[in-house]
Amino acid sequence: MLILEKEVKEFIEYSEDLGLDVIPLQQNFGHAEYILMHERYAYLRADARQLSQVDPTRLDAARDLFEELFDDMFSTHNSQYVHIGGDETRLLDCANCQIAWGDLGEEAGKSKIYVDYMKMIAEIVTERGKTPLIWADMILKHPDAIKDMPKNVIYIDWNYGWDFDRFGSDPRDLIKQYGLEFWGAPSIRSGPDDYHSNSWEKHLKNMADFIPEAKKRVIPAWC
């Protein structure tokens, strides 16, 4: 066993002894620089110059890669849940994306290619007996195809102290319309002080305002 694997398992075991569930996160769409920076994965880049996002039209190629990465992750993690990311995918208008839109138009097209990709990722983890968690920002921004997402997906509504409809849709409306499960994720560390956390009044107000609202409709999570 690699030392890193041993350390991860020891950390998870210690956390579980404290009654904590360690939920792993695997970025696989946006925030994928850690993969796309390598030339061997250039074929997955949505843009040749911006290495932040996987091309959502390369479904088969992406599935092959992330099945391998998720299997490696699950060899060290015990949680029933796995976070599949999906936030801040800002290149849904890439060249291949626009071709994939067809006659749908920009907004419906972005919604469809986003949902098609994240549906594929959700199916990978569901097939392995896990429950997928997904950041809610992009679904709230492009909700047209949300009805096509797997029903077991749990949406994590992250909030840094802003209005509930910051990303476009109000989660409460989508819960009512589609019967979705949302978890609330208020933050005690966020911009503009990501590294030094000086704005305690802002962050504590975020916790005080968001948690009571989240309790009405979701199970609070923490970030």
Q: Of 56 and 6, which is predicted with more confidence?
A: 56
Closest CA to 119 of 149, 89, 146, 140: 149
In terms of DSSP H, where are the helices of the chain?
3-17, 33-36, 59-74, 95-101, 106-127, 137-141, 171-178, 200-217
Q: Do strands 219-220 and 154-159 pair parallel, antiparallel, or not at all (unpaired)?
A: unpaired
Instruction: Summarize pLDDT for 25-48 with one digit per residue, the tens.
Output: 999 999 999 999 999 999 999 999
List the single range of 50-64, 85-99, 113-127, 173-187 with lowest mean pLDDT: 173-187
pTM score above 0.75: yes
Instruction: Summarize pLDDT for 75-123 with one digit per residue, the tens.
Output: 999 999 999 999 999 999 999 999 999 889 999 999 999 999 999 999 9
Reply yes or no on whether the pLDDT at 146 is more than 90: no
Q: Determine the pLDDT at residue 83.
A: 97
